[in-house]
């Protein structure tokens, strides 16, 4: 068993309230990550869940269910387990466009913080739910979209994408709700540049290391944890992406 398969027990050194439903947990250990890689977070007594790194020593979490709600109760000095880093991460070349919606900004944030993103389209339902907007404005050309128009463009990130010439970019890195990513994939396919798209998928995971099969997205057994979580558009266009998820039993939902 290699080192990343063993959980490192880390101590939370800081908790940052990003939005009413999103918090960043900074811990006392730096992991050697590539942007877009994730870890399995062991929440003592509750569950182990996948989370992208939002920094070499941090995760940024949206409260959606049992494990994330339990994480939200933790404070400075509390301990969690981190297994990883896992997955391929983004592999950008040339001129890079990043598109992040909601909590999907997390894996893209490390890419932008490393100076690798030329243009960043950031979306959320309202201004209050935008994550990392100030930090991103310092490191990239930031364009903001909110569904309710409370900040930036009034509408979806795809509305801003339609105003740009996507063919000017060599790599288009994307993470967000699957229907948002589908809207972007459709636009890249229409321009014949879907292979330039790199999509980071959020799927149900149990093991995180390619053994259990719970994160498969096609009949060939393509696994989000081991073969992804980042896939190019030409790969996922023929997969279960944007059609259905699988739950804990493996059944399609
Ligand atoms: C590679 C990867 C990176 C991720 N990075 C982040 C991140 O940086 N920040 C973050 O907040 N979340 C991230 N997620 C999603 C996170 O793993 C889930 O939100 C978490 O597992 C939910 O656990 P829970 O017990 O709180 O909710 P549950 O009780 O398990 O579920 C609550 C609701 O969330 C849905 N859900 C559960 N798991 C997922 C999932 N994996 N993807 C989509 N919907 C899900 C369920 O269908 C249900 O509707 C990532 C997922 C993956 C696979
Ligand atoms: S989570 Fe077990 S194979 Fe991917």
CA of 176 to the centre of ligand 2 (A): 20
Cα–Cα separations (whole angstroms), residue 15 to 24, 32, 40, 50, 107? 6, 21, 19, 19, 18
Class at the top of the CATH hierarchy for domain 3-86: mainly beta
| Cβ(105)–Cβ(175) below 8 Å | yes
Among 217, 230, 226, which Cα is nearest to 5's? 226
Split at pLDDT 50, 70, 90, the class of 253 is: low
Instruction: Indicate whether residue 215 lines ligand 2 (CB < 6 A).
Output: yes
CA of 214 to the centre of ligand 2 (A): 5
| Cβ(237)–Cβ(194) below 8 Å | yes
In angstroms, rounded to a whole number, what is the distance separating the alpha carbons of residues 173 and 122? 12
Q: Kindly list the domain boundaries of the chain, sorted by start residue.
A: 3-86, 96-236
pLDDT the model gives residue 251: 63
Average pLDDT, the chain: 93
Q: What angle do CA 64, 221, 251 make, to 5 degrees?
A: 45
Which ligand is closest in space to the CA of residue 88? Answer: 1
The pLDDT tens digits for 111-152 are 999 999 999 999 999 999 999 999 999 999 999 999 999 999
In angstroms, rounded to a whole number, what is the distance separating the alpha carbons of residues 224 and 130? 26
215: exposed, middle or buried (C-beta count within 10 Å: 0-12, 13-18, 19+)? Answer: buried
Instruction: Indicate whether residue 46 lines ligand 1 (CB < 6 A).
Output: no
Kindly tell me if the per-residue pLDDT of 1 is higher than 60: no
Phi first, then psi: what are they for 181, rounded to 5°? -65, -35
The pLDDT tens digits for 199-233 are 999 888 888 888 888 888 887 889 999 999 999 99
Q: What is the mean pLDDT of residues 148-170?
A: 97
Q: Which atom of ligand 2 is nearest to the CA of 205?
A: 1
215 is in an annotated binding site: yes
- Give percent of the chain above pLDDT 70: 94
In angstroms, rounded to a whole number, what is the distance separating the alpha carbons of residues 100 and 123? 6
Q: Which atom of ligand 1 is nearest to the CA of 66?
A: 25
pLDDT the model gives residue 3: 63
Split at pLDDT 50, 70, 90, the class of 34 is: very high
Which ligand is closest in space to the CA of residue 18? Answer: 1
List the CATH code of the domain at 96-236.
3.40.50.80
Kindly tell me if the per-residue pLDDT of 66 is higher than 60: yes
């Amino acid at each position: 068993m290699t080192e990343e398969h063993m959980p490192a027990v880390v101590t939370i050194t800081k908790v940052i309230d990003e939005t009413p439903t999103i918090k960043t947990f900074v811990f006392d250990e730096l992991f050697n990550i590539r942007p877009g890689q994730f870890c399995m977070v062991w929440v003592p007594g509750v569950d182990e869940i996948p989370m992208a790194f939002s920094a070499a020593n941090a995760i940024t979490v949206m409260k959606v269910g049992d494990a994330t709600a339990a994480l939200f109760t933790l404070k400075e000095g509390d301990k969690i387990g981190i297994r990883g880093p896992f997955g391929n991460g983004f592999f950008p070349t040339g001129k890079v466009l990043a598109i992040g919606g909601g909590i999907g900004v997390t894996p893209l944030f490390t890419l932008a913080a490393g100076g690798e993103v030329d243009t960043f389209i950031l979306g959320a339902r309202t201004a209050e739910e935008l994550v990392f907007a100030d930090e991103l404005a310092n490191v990239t050309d930031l364009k903001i979209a909110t569904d309710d128009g409370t900040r930036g463009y009034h509408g979806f990130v795809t509305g801003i994408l339609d105003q740009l010439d996507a063919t000017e970019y060599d790599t288009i890195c994307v993470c967000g709700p699957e229907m948002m990513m589908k809207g972007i994939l459709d636009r890249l396919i229409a321009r014949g540049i879907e292979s330039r798209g790199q999509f980071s998928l959020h799927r149900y995971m149990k093991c995180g290391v390619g053994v259990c099969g719970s994160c498969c997205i096609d009949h060939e057994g393509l696994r989000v944890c081991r073969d992804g979580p980042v896939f190019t558009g030409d790969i996922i266009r023929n997969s279960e992406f944007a059609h259905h998820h699988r739950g804990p039993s493996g059944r399609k939902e």
